[in-house]
Amino acid sequence: MPERVLLDWLYVAVFAVVGVVMATLPLGIVWLLAPRVELPQKRMTYESGVVPFGQAWAQFNIRYYLFALIFVLFEVEVIYLFPWAVVFRQLGKFAFIEAVLFIVILGMGLIYAWRKGALEWV
């Protein structure tokens, strides 16, 4: 059995490595075929036709971060539900009640975030 698991993931590793090679291959072809002409304006970033103003890399809207934070917590919760979803029919009523408790407790977290306006995009 572990042999099969190792083989599965060996395939994953090979796919990742060969996939990178396959994806870079067309870039190599481009490098061979495509023209290269240097013009000073060419490598400016596009800003609707005007000369770019300042840097794009700057601090802005921290709101995005709040959503990422909530996301991480709910992702972890979903992870807990995966093994439960697989086995709950083998274990019957008791397992179901456990999940109800689990989800209700975390539902309170969602309600808290909602009431405190953390889910609001301002």
- Tell me if 13 contacts other proteins by CB under 8 A: yes
Size of the site for other proteins (CB under 8 A): 100
How far apart CA 107 and CA 36 sit, in angstroms, is: 57
Give me the least distance between CB of 33 and other proteins, in Å please.
Answer: 5
Give me the least distance between CB of 111 and other proteins, in Å please.
Answer: 9
Give me the least distance between CB of 11 and other proteins, in Å please.
Answer: 5
CB under 8 Å to 113, separation ≥6 — which residues? 70, 119
| CB half-sphere exposure, 68, CA atoms < 13 A | 5
- Tell me if 49 contacts other proteins by CB under 8 A: no
- Tell me if 50 contacts other proteins by CB under 8 A: no
| CB half-sphere exposure, 62, CA atoms < 13 A | 1
- Tell me if 43 contacts other proteins by CB under 8 A: yes
- SS3 at position 103: helix
Q: Name residue, tokens 């994953």.
A: 12
- Tell me if 108 contacts other proteins by CB under 8 A: yes
Interaction residues for other proteins, span 64-93 (CB under 8 A): 64-93
Give me the least distance between CB of 82 and other proteins, in Å please.
Answer: 6
Query: How many residues in the chain?
Result: 122
